[in-house]
């Protein structure tokens, strides 16, 4: 692909995507640019639109992997990450802000309502895209407004109902719009109580999840929802089919959690997909349940 990008975008060619995913799996991106401010990103998006270049945005890369063939287009790594606290106890965060940074700001300002995010990796943009959550709450519960970039390159201000949030899903997965920044409504609380809850959640996560330096993409399959919307952890079914004893190549299920795949060193997308199929079939055969992937595989 012979394309001349404006120098201001600092586009690099043939960049290993394994360096930008937490599970360290993926071939090369034809082009990659790390973008530090919203205006530059909007300009880059509009340039790609005009030149008919496929563009993918990526934040922390914590729940995604790519094929060995890589990505035939431009991957934009979102780095703009400002966080602003307002007088009405709302907080605005740019898409590239990490959830951990936003969580710390809430604690520092004694704002409650975001404790559930403690220990969840990734960025605000990715969290809203996939309606991230834990312990009975999701980002959709406190999001009140956002600024997005439409698929036609127009900036638009929207409210919560625009996103049509559901379990681990939002309208962004369907319409191709991209989050630029989000506003969350929180409430004043007691700092000591907020810190205590955050510490409790972090302790729970440390107990049941792999250490932070293990190359994983988080929970691989979505939890199971019954007809009443009640959830059963996918790990319950995966434990019952001996997932922790299963591996394909260097892709394996971690011993601490039946629903977390990890890279033992040189895992490929093919390894992960084969491991996925094996476990899906076991669960289907034993329980009649079809597991659905939560981690995103981008071809």
Stronger pLDDT, 279 or 136, i.e. the higher one = 279
Q: Which neighbouring-strand residues pair with 29?
A: 15, 71
CA 206 – CA 11 distance, rounded (Å): 38
Mean pLDDT, rounded, of the chain: 96
Q: Is the pLDDT of residue 1 over 70?
A: no
Crossing angle of helices 99-108 and 191-208, in 10° steps, is 150
Can you give the pLDDT at residue 231?
Answer: 87
CA 167 – CA 100 distance, rounded (Å): 21
User: Does domain 7-78 fall into CATH 3.30.43.10?
Assistant: yes
Q: Among residues of the chain, what percentage have pLDDT more than 90? A: 94
> Region 42-47: what's the mean pLDDT?
98
pLDDT tens for 74-126 read: 999 999 999 999 999 999 999 999 999 999 999 999 999 999 999 999 999 99
Active site includes 168?
yes
Please, what is the Cα angle at 175 between 16 and 136, to 5 degrees?
85
27 within 8 A of 17, measured Cβ to Cβ: yes
Q: Is the pLDDT of residue 203 over 80?
A: yes
Can you give the pLDDT at residue 225?
Answer: 84
Q: Is the pLDDT of residue 24 over 70?
A: yes
> Which one of 118, 219, 243, 247 is the catalytic residue?
219
Rg (CA), the chain: 20
Give the residue extent of every domain in the chain. Answer: 7-78, 83-194, 210-297
pLDDT tens for 143-191 read: 999 999 999 999 999 999 999 999 899 999 999 999 999 999 999 999 9
CB-count burial class (<10 Å; 0-12, 13-18, 19+) for 20: buried
> Which one of 115, 181, 183, 294 is the catalytic residue?
294
H or E element at residue 204: helix 191-208
185: CB partners within 8 A, 6+ apart:
88, 89, 90, 113, 142, 144
Helix (H/G/I), strand (E/B), else coil: 2? coil
C-alpha closest to that of 64 among 14, 31, 26: 26
Active site includes 294?
yes
> Which one of 22, 24, 140, 168 is the catalytic residue?
168
CATH topology (fold) of 83-194? 3.30.465
Structure tokens at 125: 């943009």
CATH topology (fold) of 210-297? 3.90.78
> Region 206-230: what's the mean pLDDT?
91
Q: Is the pLDDT of residue 135 over 90?
A: no
Q: Is the pLDDT of residue 227 over 90?
A: no
């Amino acid at each position: 692909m012979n394309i001349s990008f404006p120098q201001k975008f600092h586009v690099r060619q043939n960049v290993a995507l394994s360096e930008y995913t937490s599970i360290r799996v993926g071939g090369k991106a034809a082009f990659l640019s790390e973008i530090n401010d919203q205006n530059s990103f909007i300009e880059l998006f509009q340039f790609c639109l005009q030149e008919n270049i496929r563009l993918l945005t990526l934040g922390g890369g914590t729940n995604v992997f790519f094929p060995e063939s890589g990505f035939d287009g431009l991957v934009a790594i979102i780095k703009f990450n400002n966080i602003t606290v307002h007088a009405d106890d709302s907080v605005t965060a740019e898409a590239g802000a990490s959830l951990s940074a936003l969580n710390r700001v809430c604690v520092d300002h004694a704002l409650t309502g975001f404790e559930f995010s403690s220990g969840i990796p990734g960025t605000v943009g990715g969290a809203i895209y996939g309606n991230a959550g834990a312990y009975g709450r999701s980002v959709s519960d406190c999001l009140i407004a956002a600024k997005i970039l439409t698929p036609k390159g127009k900036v638009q201000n929207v409210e919560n109902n625009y996103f049509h949030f559901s379990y681990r899903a939002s309208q962004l997965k369907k319409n191709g719009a991209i989050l630029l920044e989000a506003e969350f409504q929180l409430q004043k609380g007691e700092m000591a109580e907020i810190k205590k809850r955050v510490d409790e959640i972090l302790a729970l996560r440390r107990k049941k999840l792999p250490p932070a330096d293990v190359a994983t993409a988080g929970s691989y399959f979505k939890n199971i929802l019954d007809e009443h919307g009640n959830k059963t952890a996918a790990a319950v079914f995966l434990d019952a089919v001996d997932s922790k004893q299963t591996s394909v190549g260097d892709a394996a299920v971690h011993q601490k959690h039946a629903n977390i795949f990890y890279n033992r060193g040189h895992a490929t997308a093919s390894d992960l997909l084969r491991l996925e199929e094996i476990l899906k079939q076991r669960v289907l055969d034993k329980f009649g349940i079809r597991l659905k992937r939560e981690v995103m595989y981008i071809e």
